[in-house]
Chains A and B, each alone.
Chain A
Amino acid sequence: MRELALHILDILQNAIEAGATQVALTIDEDQAADRLTITVRDNGRGMDKATVARAINPFFTSRTTRHVGLGLPLLAAATERAGGQLTIQSEPGVGTTVTATFQLCHPDRQPLGDMAATLLAFLLGEKNVALHYVHRTARDTFEFHSADIRAALGDEVELGDPVVRQWLAEFLAEGEQAVQT
């Protein structure tokens, strides 16, 4: 995919498929160590060791409709192209953590891309998930808990409400803009 933000959107959807109610997404751009680390941690149903080993196989999927699952294998390939790697830690009944590392300055690393759009698409699609987002760069850190936003809006007003959507789009865009290097 053209941007890492698209891979991230994909992996976030995996967390939802696993029944997660809490997802922690962390993006760490460490210029000193020349490393970009993306972590998606969820509290979904998790996988046993055998399943984790097969997860990176494009011909393995927990879907019953098709025999192909490309999300993780594509991300793994992206990390390898850019001097990094993909690791998956998981425990059945507890959750899964997917960690993708990249060499920050590698010429073949895709750009991080439009994270604000990815976050908006994710938050609008899922009603019951609490997202904790942290984007750390040399310039600043953008962090928020979607639960805080939902709490401030109360019970009646949803994130998908047009008025809220507008605010959310701006909030995310501003936050991301503030950490651009």
Chain B
Amino acid sequence: MPKLKTLDDLKRVREEAQKSLKVRLDTGTTIIVGMGTCGIAAGARDTMHAILEELAKRQIDAHVTTVGCIGMCVKEPLVDIEQAGKPRVTYANVKPDMVPRLIEEHLIKGQPVTEWVLGRVKAE
């Protein structure tokens, strides 16, 4: 049976993470992917995978998490991008091939991709 990628491996990972933890604590960016039955059926898992890959490729720091169904099942996969001090933006029907542009324009250039936006919620 393949052993847990040795505990030493994890210790190294822990150290690496702790080092940059101080710098990263204020990233303020959270990407939320809808993962209810409708989301899963619409391909949200693969969209989430694409997001994680794009973030890793560009070395962008953002928290990625999942939520349940909000009721607009026909618009799944739904992806929310929340950044400190900015309105929360919800994107609809996000397929994996849309992810690179989303990350590039919304996160890097700071310009939400309006044609894909479902709605915005004002920041508190």
Which residues on A are within 8 Å of B, measured CB to CB? 1, 6, 9-10, 13, 17, 65-66, 69-71, 74, 114, 117-118, 120-121, 124-125, 140-144, 148-149, 152-154, 156-157, 160-167, 169-171, 174-175, 178
Contacts and interface: CB of A to CB of B under 8 A. Distances in A.
A163 B20 contact: yes
Interface residues of B, number: 39
A170 to B, nearest CB: 8
Q: A interface, by DSSP: helix, strand, loop or mixed? A: helix
B17 A157 contact: yes
Interface string B43-80: 00110110010011000011111111001000000000
A161 B10 contact: no
Interface of B: 1-2, 4-5, 7, 9-11, 13-14, 16-18, 20-21, 24, 33, 35-38, 40-41, 45-46, 48-49, 52, 55-56, 61-68, 71
A160 B65 contact: yes
Q: B interface, by DSSP: helix, strand, loop or mixed? A: helix
Given A154-B14, A164-B13, A66 B71 contact: yes
A120 B53 CA distance: 12
